[in-house]
Structure 1
Amino acid sequence: MKPLQDQGIDKYILNVYTFVKIFTMKSLSLKLDEKVFEETEEVTQELKIARNRYINDALELYNKFNQRLLIEKQIKKEIEEGRISSLEVMRDWEDTDNAFDAKFNL
């Protein structure tokens, strides 16, 4: 294989991009029930992961769960509002239809 200079690559600037996901950590003082702490210790030892990583993962999962519940609640609210709005539109059409029928004695 020819050296890079012989391939004409030397006229280009070669850039190497590395993408690093940077996590900033926040300190937190946490009080756990004794039973929860003991269960957490057992699981983290069995899985061979740090307690901090385990708690982070658990909170991330719990946050996703609760976000879905909040979205579900919002969707149900909007469906109900849409249903009420649809009923109002239907009543308006009926009123218009009745007025038309009355005007032309239908």
Structure 2
Amino acid sequence: MKKLSMKLDDDIFQEAEEIASEMQIARNRYINEAVRVYNLYYKRRMLKKQLAKESNLTKEDSLGILKEFEKLIGEV
């Protein structure tokens, strides 16, 4: 486990303290969980962005193939 020194805005710190107390968990555990959840959220955002980019790259190819199939169907 890594040690970390950080500064939090007073209002964020106070809110985290209140929530951790209400949940009856240590501040350290609460912050670890918060960072883990944010990491999952951000990874999903990055994946969504990558999938959209790759989808756009294959869009033209897919439309081209569809047009070729339509031509073949029209010839039958």
Answer yes or no: same fold by TM over 0.5.
yes
Q: TM-score, normalised by structure 1?
A: 0.59
Residue in 1 that maps onto 2:23: 47
1:47 CA drift (Å): 1.1
Q: TM-score, normalised by structure 2?
A: 0.80
Q: What is the CA RMSD across the aligned residues, in angstroms?
A: 1.8
1:31 paired to 2:10: no
Superposition pairs for residues 1-106 of structure 1, below 5 Å? 25-89=1-65, 93=68
Q: Which ranges in structure 1 are unaligned for 5 or more consecutive residues?
A: 1-24, 98-106
Give the aligned length: 70
- Find the aligned partners of 1:31 and 1:88 in 2 and give their Cα distance: 54
Which structure carries more relative contact order (alpha carbon 8 Å, separation 6+)? 2
User: Larger % of helix: which?
Assistant: 2
Percent of matched pairs sharing the same residue: 43
Could you list the structure 1 runs, at least 4 aligned residues long, displaced by more than 6 angstroms after superposition. none
